[in-house]
Amino acid sequence: MARHKVAKISEIAPGTTRRVVVDSIGVLLCNVEGKIYAIEDVCTHDGGPLDQGELEGDHVVCPRHGATFDVRTGDALTLPAVLPVMTFEVSVQGDDIFVDA
C-alpha cells in the first residue's frame, strides 16, 4: 500500500465530497465537520457512482436506489445495499490530503 497526495483540504468544504482517482480506483473524499474520510466511489448494490449522491452528515446516499453508507466505517446502513464499501486510511499534513491505497 502506498501513500498518495490526492487533494487539498481547502478544496473540500465541510459537508461536501470530492472524487479522486488513486491507482485507478475511484475514491470519494468526504468532509464531515472538518474531518476527511475516504471510501470507494462505488455502491456495492449496483455499482452506482456515490460521488453523484448526497452527503448527509456522516452518511452518503447512492443516487440510484437510495442505499446509504457510513463514510467513517464503510458500513451499508440501508437496503438495497448489504455489503460495505471499501474505506481508505486518510492523513492530513498542512493543507494536503493523503490516502493510503
Q: pLDDT truncated to tens, each residue of the chain (101 aa)?
A: 799 999 999 999 999 999 999 999 999 999 999 999 999 999 999 999 999 999 999 999 999 999 999 999 999 999 999 999 999 999 999 999 999 99
Give the range of the structural domain holding residue 82, as residue numbers without chain letter: 3-100
Extract the runs of DSSP E, i.e. beta strands, from the chain.
3-8, 17-22, 25-32, 35-40, 54-56, 59-61, 68-70, 87-93, 96-100
Q: Which of 97, 95, 99, 78 is nearest to 87 (CA)?
A: 99
Q: How many structural domains compose the chain?
A: 1
Q: Among 100, 98, 88, which Cα is nearest to 8's?
A: 98
Q: What's the CATH code of the domain at 59?
A: 2.102.10.10
